[in-house]
Amino acid sequence: MGSEANAIANRRDRSPWVHSLNGPWHFHWAATPDECPRDFYLPTFDTTSWTSIPVPSNWQLHGHGTPIYKSSGYTFRIDPPRVTSKPPEDWTTYRDRNPVGCYARHFSIPAAWKSRRVFLHFAGVEGAFDVWMNGVPIGYSQGSRSPAEFEVTEQVQSGANQIAVRVFRYSDGTYLEDQDMWRLSGIHREVVLYSTPPTRIVDFTVRTSLDEDYCNAELAIDVELDATSLAKIAGWEVVAQLFAPSGEPVLPADLRHDAEPILNRDYKPDVLVERTPQRGTGPFGWLNATVENPAKWTAETPHLYRLVLSLNNADGRPQQTVACDVGFRTVETRNGQLLINGRPLKLRGVNRHEHDPLTGHAMTDEQMLNDALRMKQAHINAVRTAHYPNDPRWYELCNRLGLYVIDEADLETHGLRGRLANEPRWATAFLDRVVRLVERDKNEPCVICWSLGNESGWGPNFAAAAAWAKSVDPTRLVHYEGAQGSSDPADVDFISRFYPRLRAEYLHPSLPDAPNAAVPPENARWDRLLDVAETQPGDRPIVASEYAHAMGNAVGNLAEYWQEIDTHPRLAGGFIWDWADQALAIKGPDGIAFGYGGSFGDEPNHGTFCLNGILMADRELTAKYFEVQKVYQPVKLELLSQSEGAIRLEVRNQRHVLDLSDLQTTWSIIAADGTTLTGEGPTLTAAAGDKEEIEIALPLDGLQKDTWLTLELSLKQSTAWADQGHLIASCQWPLATRVDTQPLVMSAKTVPLQLKQRENEYALKSATVRVSFDRHTGMLTQLQYSGKEYLATTSSAGPRLQLYRAPTDNDRGFGRWLAKLWSDADLADVETDLRSCQAERLSPSLVKITTSVDAQVRPGGVKHSIEWLIHGSGTIQMRHRFEPYGELPPLPRMGVVMHLEGGLKQLEWFGRGPHENYPDRKHSALIGRWNCPVTTAATPYPRPQETGSRQDTRWLALVDKTQRGLLVAAINSPFAYSAIPYTAEELAAARQWSELKPRADVVLSLDTAQCGLGNSSCGPGVLKKYAVLPKPMELNVIIAPIESTDDPGIVATRIMHQHASMEATSD
């Protein structure tokens, strides 16, 4: 750090002893090692013809070689430990057998570094590499996400220096890096030189432990020194002090220890007996202190102290200063629960890859900070570094902002299953990955658990790694999910499951159990969470290491997962797969598109399976993110009772340590006509884990039917991760208010409606409206208000039966894919047979048109009848009755589709919003009055699929730039709608969102039911309660004109009440 001030402030960038080698390097790419230029590492080699590449970066994103996306399985022929055996000819590695990137650059070191030691540090090189300094070979390393360090004291010189690096895309180490991600290459993390005195602090380890009351703490610091053989260290000391955030020292006096016994250059027996082994059998730490009641570190209260460690010479002058953040916390399990500082914790987690569509695996400070802030704002409290150690700067953010980290080793052999875990010759390589993880991150307070790797079976190599981690670091837990092989090895501290099921009825309950299979499929360990909690012996906590696979339009029934997790103390939570889509940018004339496996000619590939994020690749927020934010909210609200002028609520504080006094309570009441009332609620005081009851006085008199109460809890003050007013929790309830039972008086003025029956059509006309029906198809062919046509000029403007949706990634998922059932049933190609089309005049101003259509698909069909009531005033009631018959599969939806005039570009509705929502993913979409343009109503999933639906809609207005348009209002039951410039068939046919060309018309879908989303792209499917099973259904709405001076909410409420009055009168 260079000085105590820099160390306290964590300003390594100000240190005179650190020199960055980030920036432009000369670069040469070769498809095979044989094509690599000879002697390129010599200072005399001419690299002026080479290209320039930034460090850190991945070379595939700078025009060199091919990025390859694989979920699992190797991109070269499996032949361990060899990586260049001949693969199939269509594979990328057939041509580019083992690409090599050669890097070179010059630099100068400061004159002040003379007579000091110099070290070269690589934070991460994707692939295997060797390095030369001034033409002299320095060393070799592999392990793409572990640091490598070399002493170059003898090789550097005053003045100009040259460094050269050769990076191989593949090595035998690549067999341990078969993770679900883009396979990229290059120097993707920082490169620095740093200087130390001849006698130096090599390493140090900090431990904090709390007493049995979780009050006072013991601080223990172990130090490792190194010195040249001639160095004199008599009288030297190691000195430590702990600083508060204010910069004030915490310890009453500096901790000091003589350097000589720590170095123990003479290997004195008494020191060896006492200190080796240090862990477990002897005292830990050369420097120890008791800290009275320090502020404790948790994700909610990330209190950090700064430890500054100095090596002082005999004159007391610091020769070297190092530092780290210290958080006082303990991690343990007891009675099946995960405890932090003695309190039970639920992990509201997410898996995160280091990935950006423009920079690949090279992450910037801004990208990481944005990720951490977005996680905190979504109430995520834990992150699993899937599936490798992350950039060290990530842990600094997690320490500071408050995120628990499951820190995972760079170890996955998915394509070889558990074979390498059981081969003795690979034992050292397995252990190396875990050792480097633990040694690098052992001082990070945010790290509460080591994860041995991912989905690589089980065997003695993992058992050895687990034993090593526990022996070296007894202050943390050990996790592992092997996917194949032995379930729940006793060597680890968690029972881990990925993609577990709920204790609920699924649409296809036989999947993925495969009960009749001799050998269950690899991913058949999707046990029911509660069954595991109740039947597994022992008292280890249970965690879902991966769940809620967020591929495409997904994350169904997340709320049901947490209803179960909250009910059982052994269920410690889970980690959603995953944080952001792993797409790569494709730059084109129309902007940036997002590419996935195969988009770059990469073979073999796993297509869109990299698009699993709750955020888009560019970190655009999605409805999935908002659903996570809602379900993960740490405060639960329950309506207990409602009286004439007040409601009573129970508020349950599910925070880990914080009470609720930092939250502001506000309420709002909104009605379908737009009436809104707001107010403030009482101050909350419930401690963590407790609950309290509150009463709120509300002005309920005179409120109309369909009125909703929303309660919101938000931050009173800004924090490090969110601004004042940030929403922490919300809940909404319908209010059972008094409804005016007196019939509304219909206008005494009737508007005559003409009816003309022609050979091909029924034509209706009044001073306000013109409507025509094709007598051969039953289709509506004209809809004019005040001379303006609102139907698109297409023969199939509708409304027509719609059973199909563009399959989501979940619909195409594991097991009995719903998409296949729908395709086999030809649901996208419904054949219709008009059975009748009749007109009946009910009064001078009212005409009824009835049509009956037999809509046929392969195993059956739907009898679809429509009753139209057209009023001379322009109000049109449209009642659809659907009667399925035959052997239909579970349906994507039941509803109708219409094509409207393209000028209706603005949407406003009263229902769930503002983001898209579905039956099993709508908790975050509150009932309200929302608006958006048609152009943004669809979510641009990189692979197009069903999108844009809004549930529980009471009314919908579609208007043009003059604010004139159409109103669709629900009768009796709300409907779901989408209004986007694409048909379901167009979405289904496109492979990339950028291929879609927006239509000139608006495709309006009105559904009485739509299938839920589920999680079956990798996991269990749709719950049966969210399926659309073939049975009789109705869709009943009113269509009316909207003028520029109209408020659609008031108009909708008026015509819905008028309809109720008409029905009451007719009764």
What Rg do the C-alpha atoms of the chain give, in angstroms? 33
**Do 889 and 859 contact (CB within 8 A), yes or no?**
yes
Cα angle for residues 963, 969, 971 (degrees, 5° grid): 170
- Cis preceding linkage at 424, omega within 30: no
Torsion of CA 268, 270, 273, 279, to 10 degrees: -90
3-state secondary structure of 451: strand
Marked catalytic residue, from 546, 916, 946, 986: 546
Marked catalytic residue, from 260, 354, 412, 455: 455
End-to-end CA distance of the chain: 86
Instruction: Note the helical H segments in 733-816.
Output: none
Residue 249 carries which DSSP code? B
What length is written for the chain?
Answer: 1067
- Here the tokens at position 856 are 């046929």
What does the alpha-carbon distance between residue 143 and residue 224 come to, in Å, rounded to a whole number?
Answer: 24
* Catalytic site includes residue 455: yes
Measured CA distances, 356 to 350, 584, 613, 693, 938 (Å): 17, 7, 12, 45, 23
Type of residue found at 52: S
What does the alpha-carbon distance between residue 191 and residue 208 come to, in Å, rounded to a whole number?
Answer: 31
| Backbone φ/ψ region at 564: left (φ over 0), alpha (ψ -120 to 50), beta | alpha
Q: Is 478 exposed, middle or buried (0-12, 13-18, 19+ CB in 10 A)?
A: buried
What does the alpha-carbon distance between residue 278 and residue 203 come to, in Å, rounded to a whole number?
Answer: 14
Q: Which residues pair with 1044 in a beta bridge?
A: none
What does the alpha-carbon distance between residue 957 and residue 936 come to, in Å, rounded to a whole number?
Answer: 16
Nearest to 471 by CA among 436, 422, 438: 438
**DSSP letters for 480-506:** EE-SSSSSS-TTSSSEEEESPBPSS-B
| Backbone φ/ψ region at 1058: left (φ over 0), alpha (ψ -120 to 50), beta | alpha
Nearest to 973 by CA among 721, 717, 706, 679: 706
The owner of tokens 């792209």 is 1017
* Catalytic site includes residue 946: no
Q: Which residues pair with 595 in a beta bridge?
A: 584
Measured CA distances, 936 to 932, 980, 981 (Å): 7, 8, 10
Q: Which residues pair with 215 in a beta bridge?
A: none
What does the alpha-carbon distance between residue 140 and residue 162 come to, in Å, rounded to a whole number?
Answer: 17
- Sign for the CA dihedral angle at 440, 442, 446, 449 comes to positive
List the catalytic residues: 455, 546
